[in-house]
Amino acid sequence: MASGPRYSLPFRRRREGRTDYRQRRSLIISGRPRAVVRLTNDHVYVQISEARPKGDVVKASASSKELSKLGWQGGTGNLPSAYLTALLAGKRAQANGVKDAILDIGLRSITKGSKVAAALKGLADSGLAIPHSTEVLPDKQRLSGGHIASYAKTLAQKSSEEYKKRFSHYISRGMKPEDLTGHFDQVAVRIQQTVIGEKA
């Protein structure tokens, strides 16, 4: 006669679809810092953390919410902001002595040209040694928001009302979405200068 349950109840975070413990275990036993990338519809969060017996220690972090302080006037949940946020986190990690990391994207999977791939590119461009395949990375045109600028130009020609509606958050900040690529390059340079200033 059975003396106990015939099933095994998964951990709560696994039941909630928040943690893949098998993947997390393999990342931790690698002994390397983890570049943790988390996305919401509106924001991007990147942390460089190390596993310790008493819990993870965050060596560096960045949020797309911070980009406005660096002059960024674009969206905070799009592909360019994912790249810039990861670039900022990677530069801060290097300033704190972290030279390499492995990507931790939780339960997500990488799709070619996605925001996760853009964040991966930002981490790699920051100078962190992070294993990845170049095949999944977005091209420079998409990273800098060229696809957004192109769409804005087309929409402006078709319907000024729809243009104002779609890009109201850009316009309210005094920026033309058509100029996004140049603005992106300026902020990327500013991130480099800012992290050097933080280190000093």
Question: Is residue 102 situated within a structural domain?
Answer: yes
Residue 174 CA, chain-centre distance (Å), reads: 25
- CA-only gyration radius of the chain, Å: 20
Sorting pLDDT into bands at 50, 70 and 90, what band is 60? very high
- Do residues 5 and 40 touch, judged by C-beta distance below 8 A? no
Reduced DSSP (H G I as helix, E B as strand, rest coil) percent helix, strand, coil of the chain, to 5: 50, 10, 35
Domain limits for position 29: 17-138+187-199
- Domain assignment of residue 33, yes or no: yes
Tell me how far apart the alpha carbons of residues 64 and 57 are, in angstroms, rounded to a whole number.
Answer: 21
Query: Which residue type is seen at 112?
Result: K
Q: Which helix (H) or strand (E) holds 19?
A: none
pTM: 0.85
Q: For residue 159, give the amino acid letter.
A: S
- Distance, in Å, from the CA atom of 76 to the CA atom of 99, rounded to the nearest integer, reads 27
In a domain, 166, yes or no: no
Tens digit of pLDDT for each residue in 67-114?
999 999 999 999 999 999 999 999 999 999 999 999 988 777 788 999
Residue 56: inside a domain: yes
- Do residues 177 and 170 make contact, with C-beta atoms less than 8 angstroms apart? yes
Among candidate residues 64, 69, 65, 106, the one with its CA nearest the CA of residue 85: 64
CATH for 37: 3.30.420.100
Q: How many domains does the chain have?
A: 1
Over residues 124-155, the pLDDT tens digits come to: 999 999 999 999 999 999 999 999 999 999 99
